Copies of this chain bind each other. A is one copy, B any other.
Amino acid sequence: MNVHGKHHRTIWLKKDDPNVVQIIDQRHIPHHFVIENLVTVEQFAQAIRDMHVRGAGLIGATAGFGMYIAALHAPKSSPQAFMAALVEAGETLKATRPTAVNLAWAVDRQLKAVEDAGDEIDARVQTARETAQAIADEDADFCRRLGEHGKAIIKEISKNKKGEPVNVLTHCNAGWLAFVDYGSATAPIYAAHDEGIAVHVWVDETRPRNQGARLTAWELGQHGVPHTVIADNVGGHLMQHGMVDVVITGTDRTLYTGDVANKIGTYLKALAARDNGVPFYVALPSSSFDWEHRDGLKEIPIEQRGAHEVKYIRGLHDGKIVQVLLTPEESPAANYAFDVTPARLVTGLITERGICPASEEGVLALYPEKR
Contact = CB atoms under 8 A, between A and B. Distances in A.
Interface of A: 30-31, 202-203, 205-208, 210, 213-214, 217-218, 221, 227-238, 240-241, 263-265, 267-269, 271-272, 275, 297, 302, 310-317, 322-336, 338-340
A336 B275 CA distance: 19
Nearest to A227: B331
B207 A237 contact: no
A339 B207 contact: no
B317 A237 contact: no
Contact of A207 (B214, B231, B263, B269): B231
Nearest to A333: B229
A230 to B, nearest CB: 5
Given A271-B236, A271-B268, A328 B30 contact: yes
A234 B315 contact: no
Number of identical protomers: 2
A189 to B, nearest CB: 15
A210 B268 contact: no
Given A233-B207, A339-B236, A339-B237, A326 B315 contact: yes
Nearest to A327: B213
B236 A208 contact: no
Contacts of A202: 334
Contact of A315 (B218, B229, B325): B325
A313 B315 contact: yes
Q: Which has the most chain B C-beta neighbours within 10 Å: A210, A326, A338?
A: A326
A331 B204 CA distance: 13
A228 B218 CA distance: 31
Contacts of A336: 230, 234, 237-238
8 contacts: A221-B330, A229-B310, A229-B334, A231-B232, A233-B263, A234-B264, A234-B336, A236-B265
A307 to B, nearest CB: 8
A213 to B, nearest CB: 5
Given A207-B231, A231-B265, A316-B324, 16 more contacts: A30-B329, A210-B326, A217-B331, A221-B330, A230-B310, A230-B333, A234-B334, A235-B268, A236-B265, A240-B267, A312-B315, A316-B325, A317-B317, A317-B324, A322-B324, A324-B324
